Amino acid sequence: MTPTQVTGSAIARAQDRAVRMQIATPRHREGLSQFVEGLSPHSAYLRFFGADPRPTPRMLDLLSCNDRDHLAVIATVGGCVIGHAMLARRAYAFAEPSELAVVVADEWQHHGVGPKLVQHLVAHASRLVHDGLEFTVLADNFHANAVVQRLWPLATMSADHGVISYRVDVNLPRAATTTRAPLVA
């Protein structure tokens, strides 16, 4: 089943339990491959900034990686991947902000899946988020920029050559605690 086949009433229930959030694992590689292949060229460009989005084994390893430096979550409907979000700790400094990336299947965009992915990811990410989040969004991705400003109105931003870089300070418990924290704007 592809994201296009999971439309109709399921989209209407995107705010409900029709969408399942879960930690991505290597067993999701096939679904992630179909998901990436199913992105429109425009959505792939907005997520990968022009890189060739055809899923390679290395890309699928990264999209399903959960280790001390990475956390990935997926949104599914009926077992079909319809969204993906991930955090990666910067390799060069433990206390630096983690990088965030999110993409949602075209048919599911503008139905609240992206913010739910981010919420789920951040709620499980205390081991990676010690000094906030950083991410870049293309300036012409108006919807994503609006979502960022709605979720994190105090985010700092800078623009350079059509790319907006955001930094968000997120209050999360340290890895020593098991408490799950909600997003904090």
Walk me through the domains of the chain, giving residue ranges and CATH numbers. 3-129 (3.40.630.30)
Stated pTM of the model: 0.77
Task: Write the CA distances from 145 to 155, 159, 164, integer angstroms.
Answer: 11, 12, 8
The per-residue pLDDT for 12 is: 44
**Average pLDDT for 98-124:** 89
Rounded to whole angstroms, the Cα distance separating 167 from 31 reads 31
pLDDT in tens, 56-88: 899 899 899 888 888 999 999 989 999 999 988
pLDDT of residue 172 exceeding 60, the answer is no
Predicted confidence band of residue 91 (pLDDT cuts 50, 70, 90) = low
**Average pLDDT for 134-148:** 89
**Average pLDDT for 134-144:** 88
The per-residue pLDDT for 93 is: 54
Instruction: Please state at what angle helix 142-151 crosses helix 113-123, rounded to 10 degrees.
Output: 50
Q: Name the strand (E) or helix (H) holding 42.
A: helix 41-48
> Which range, of 2-11, 94-103, 123-132, 162-171, averages the lowest pLDDT?
2-11
Predicted confidence band of residue 125 (pLDDT cuts 50, 70, 90) = confident
From the list 66, 71, 64, 61, the residue with the least C-alpha distance to 129 is 71
- Taking the mean position of all CA atoms in its chain, how far away is CA 25? 15
pLDDT of residue 13 exceeding 80, the answer is no
Rounded to whole angstroms, the Cα distance separating 42 from 54 reads 14
The per-residue pLDDT for 175 is: 36
Average model confidence (pLDDT) for the chain? Answer: 79
pLDDT of residue 1 exceeding 60, the answer is no
Predicted confidence band of residue 127 (pLDDT cuts 50, 70, 90) = low
Rounded to whole angstroms, the Cα distance separating 47 from 176 reads 33
pLDDT of residue 100 exceeding 60, the answer is yes
Higher pLDDT, 143 or 130: 143
